[in-house]
Structure 1
Amino acid sequence: MSIESDTPVKDRTYDLVSVLESSLRNAWTMEAYIADAEREGDEELAEWFRKIQHNSFKAGEQGKQLLRERLGRSAQG
């Protein structure tokens, strides 16, 4: 099954970098949402935002590792 990509560049590295950037930006954005929830005394919502932030950081770290590996392979070949 093939899914048509709407990315402007048909390139797996571009896609990887885009998702990496999005994940890390989302983790950074969660800081403001956590602060907002805490300021309003909504610890339940703040904790939910922390979980999302953790997952975004994790995805970002995995994406950085994938990118390092791929750049290393392309430099060798």
Structure 2
Amino acid sequence: MMSNEERATNTSNAYFDLVSVLYHSLEGARTYAIYVRDAQNAGDQELAQFFSQRQQEETNCADRAKQMLSSRVTAATIGQQNVSQQPPAQQPWS
């Protein structure tokens, strides 16, 4: 049974959550890049390094989320191609 949120978006909560993590990780990485530049402009290399490490963590998280999303979409697509004479498989986002 789909939740109200899933019905509203026609997307499972798990996929919505994964896409959200991807989005927020990318936004975080972009924001930290600005912070790195600000710290460098202020001549604070320790702070710049701290922000750079946080940026790398966000980038790594985004990369992992992209891999997970890709593998799930691919699996769902392959599953649909292997089904013959059956109703269409439910998409991972529905």
- Tell whether the structures are fold-level matches, with TM greater than 0.5: yes
**What's the offset of the Cα at 1:67?**
0.3
Match of 1:20 among 3, 19, 22: 22
Is 1:34 the counterpart of 2:57? The answer is: no
Partner of 1:61: 63
Uncovered stretches (5+) of structure 2, i.e. residues with no partner? 7-11, 80-94
Alignment match, 1:43 = 45
Q: How many angstroms apart in 1 are the aligned matches of 2:15 and 2:69?
A: 8
1:56 CA drift (Å): 0.4
- Following superposition, the deviation at residue 73 of structure 1 comes to 1.1
Work out the CA distance in 2 between the residues paired with 1:32 and 1:62: 23
Which is greater in Rg?
2
Counterpart CA distance in 1 for 2:21 and 2:31 is 15
| Structure 2: distance between partners of 1:31 and 1:65 | 23
Could you tell me which runs of 5 or more consecutive residues in structure 1 were left unpaired when the two chains were aligned: 1-7
Distance 1:50 1:40 in 2: 15
Distance 1:39 1:50 in 2: 14
The corresponding residue for 2:74 is: 72
Shift of 1:76: 1.8
Task: Count residues in correspondence.
Answer: 70
How far off is 1:65 after superposition? 0.2
4+ aligned runs moved over 2 Å, structure 1: none
AA aligned to 1:29 is: T
Percent identity, aligned pairs only, is 36
